[in-house]
Structure 1
């Protein structure tokens, strides 16, 4: 059974922010200046970042305190609308570089450096959902995390 990774266009920088705004608005939500600031801060990180780190960085940049609970609410909205992915075991987030492309979250998480590589594999996603269905469980947002060491740390 060969893995199948679907293809999609990866967005970066200003293009990623514009695509996230488009996806959120097309989903019936508003793209506010605070949501844009949180997304831009999230998107500039290569590794998963916590809501507290985002709040601290935004507070420093704005010269006034940004509450972590506000950032958490925005990040939850982003996860719900497929603009961000949550690495559950680290309570940290990554920007989805292809908003609008629905898929399950499969992460390879390095215990040494904290890197989290996102993997798209339709075969694994279908298998996980089939297991849930066979037990009369409706999978809403499957997340699979494989902990270990990345190539650089191994």
Structure 2
């Protein structure tokens, strides 16, 4: 199946799914990891380690170092709890951590919104091409940069073009 729907948990259900996924990978779900995941999943756009460190520092009333956040984010990516938007050096919480897919992102250069979607036929073709070239793709990441519908419409309006 090239595209398929997922049940995407939110809030406490997402935290529980992330915890279960991390524990299945043999790692512990510590209070700090839970706080980092909660902060990451609370961002509407991809967040950097510095964004997360700042949010946690404010909420905990103490300074949290970005290097601590980076280590946790690396663990989250390895365990499929987070996805890394390579071009922005930022992360998004995986809305379905129990299901592993290659990363396909649509990144808006106007507002920064990033949409993640799964299309196994697209990434499968990429893996096949890589294998034919003698390369084993471990974690393909596809990022398409452009403008979301809202930013494209705003750009057309500013340039005087009709949106119809």
User: Same fold by TM (over 0.5)?
Assistant: yes
Aligned to 2:10: 12
Match of 2:44 in 1: 46
- Give the C-alpha shift of residue 44 in structure 1: 0.7
Q: Partner residue of 1:136?
A: 134
CA–CA distance in 2 between the matches of 1:49 and 1:39? 11
Greater Rg, structure 1 or structure 2?
2
Alignment-derived partner of residue 74 in structure 1 = 72
Find out whether 1:26 has 2:2 as its counterpart: no
SS of the residue 1:11 aligns to: coil
Task: State the 1:7 CA deviation.
Answer: 2.3
Partner residue, 2:147: 149
Cα RMSD (Å) of the superposition?
A: 1.0
| Contact kept? 1:6, 1:122, Cα under 8 Å | no
Runs of 4 or more, structure 1, over 4 Å off, are none
Specify every segment of 5 or more residues in structure 1 that has no aligned partner in the other structure, as ranges.
none
Query: How many matched pairs?
Result: 152
Separation in 2, partners of 1:7, 1:109: 21
- Please give the per-residue CA displacement for 1:86-117, whole angstroms capped at 9, x wherever unaligned: 00000000000101101000000000100010
TM-score normalised to the size of structure 1?
0.96
The one of 70, 84, 87 equivalent to 1:86 is 84
Matching residue of 1:37:
35
2:112 is equivalent to residue 114 of structure 1: yes
